[in-house]
Structure 1
Amino acid sequence: MTSGRTLRIAHLYPELLNLYGDSGNILVLKSRMAWRGIEPQVMEVHVDDRPSFSGVDIVFIGGGSDREQKIVCDKLLAEQVELKAYVEDGGVLGAVCGGYQLLGESYLMGDEKVPGLELVDLYTDRGEPRLIGNIAVESRISPQPIVGYENHGGRTHLGPGVEPMGKVLYGHGNDGASGYEGCLYKNVVGTYVHGPLLPKNPGVADYLIARALDRKYGNGELEPLDDAEELAANKVMYDRLMAGEVEE
Structure 2
Amino acid sequence: MGSPAHLSAASPRPSRLKEIRVLQLYPRDMNIYGDYGNALVLKRRLEWYGYTPVMLSYDPGDEFPTDPDILIGGGGQDSGQDRIQADLLGIGKRLHALAEQDVPMLMICGLYQLFGHFFETREGSRISGIGVLDVETYGTDKRLIGNVVAESDQFGTVIGYENHSGQTYLGDDAAPLAAVTAGEGNNQRDAHEGARHRNVLGSYLHGSLLPKNPAIADFLIATAVQQKFGDQLGELAAPQTAPLPLDALTDRARHIAASRPR
Is 1:229 the counterpart of 2:241? The answer is no
CA distance in 2, matches of 1:238, 1:23: 20
Deviations 1:6-39 (A, max 9, x none): 2101111212111111111101000000011011
Question: Counterpart of 1:247 in structure 2: which amino acid?
Answer: P
Match of residue 141 from structure 1 = 154
CA distance in 1, matches of 2:60, 2:172: 34
Deviations 1:151-209 (A, max 9, x none): 11111111112110010011001112101110111110100011111111111111111
The 5-angstrom pairing of residues 157-176 of structure 1 reads 157-176=169-188
Call closer, same or farther: CA 1:123–1:239 in 2, change over 3 Å. closer
Determine helix, strand or coil for the equivalent of 1:210: helix
Call closer, same or farther: CA 1:165–1:220 in 2, change over 3 Å. farther
Once the 2 structures are TM-superposed, how far is the Cα of residue 214 of structure 1 from its aligned partner?
Answer: 2.0
CA distance in 2, matches of 1:60, 1:51: 14
CA contact (8 A) 1:200 1:233 kept: no
CA contact (8 A) 1:14 1:62 kept: yes
Match of residue 99 from structure 1 = 111
CA distance in 2, matches of 1:161, 1:46: 29
Question: Counterpart of 2:261 in structure 1: which amino acid?
Answer: E
Question: Counterpart of 2:255 in structure 1: which amino acid?
Answer: V
CA contact (8 A) 2:23 2:71 kept: yes
Match of residue 60 from structure 2 = 47
Higher relative contact order, structure no. (Cα contacts within 8 Å, ≥ 6 residues apart): 2
Match of residue 74 from structure 1 = 86
Is 1:129 the counterpart of 2:142? The answer is yes
CA distance in 2, matches of 1:157, 1:117: 16
Determine helix, strand or coil for the equivalent of 1:155: strand
Question: Counterpart of 1:172 in structure 2: which amino acid?
Answer: E
Is 1:203 the counterpart of 2:215? The answer is yes
Call closer, same or farther: CA 1:179–1:58 in 2, change over 3 Å. same
Call closer, same or farther: CA 1:235–1:150 in 2, change over 3 Å. closer
Call closer, same or farther: CA 1:83–1:176 in 2, change over 3 Å. same
CA distance in 1, matches of 2:43, 2:204: 22
Question: Counterpart of 1:136 in structure 2: which amino acid?
Answer: V
Once the 2 structures are TM-superposed, how far is the Cα of residue 219 of structure 1 from its aligned partner?
Answer: 3.2
Determine helix, strand or coil for the equivalent of 1:205: helix
Once the 2 structures are TM-superposed, how far is the Cα of residue 128 of structure 1 from its aligned partner?
Answer: 3.5
CA contact (8 A) 2:160 2:257 kept: no
CA contact (8 A) 1:202 1:230 kept: no
Q: Name the stretch that deviates more: 121-130 or 15-24.
A: 121-130
CA distance in 2, matches of 1:130, 1:169: 18
**Structure 1: tracts of 5 or more residues without a match:** 241-245
CA contact (8 A) 1:132 1:151 kept: yes
Deviations 1:212-234 (A, max 9, x none): 11222233424444652244224
Is 1:38 the counterpart of 2:57? The answer is no
**Structure 2: tracts of 5 or more residues without a match:** 1-12
Q: How many residues align?
A: 241
Determine helix, strand or coil for the equivalent of 1:209: helix
Is 1:58 the counterpart of 2:70? The answer is yes
CA distance in 2, matches of 1:219, 1:87: 20
Match of residue 192 from structure 2 = 180
CA distance in 1, matches of 2:154, 2:192: 14
CA distance in 1, matches of 2:82, 2:21: 26
Return the TM-score normalized by structure 1. Answer: 0.90
> Which of 120, 127, 143 is the aligned partner of 2:133?
120
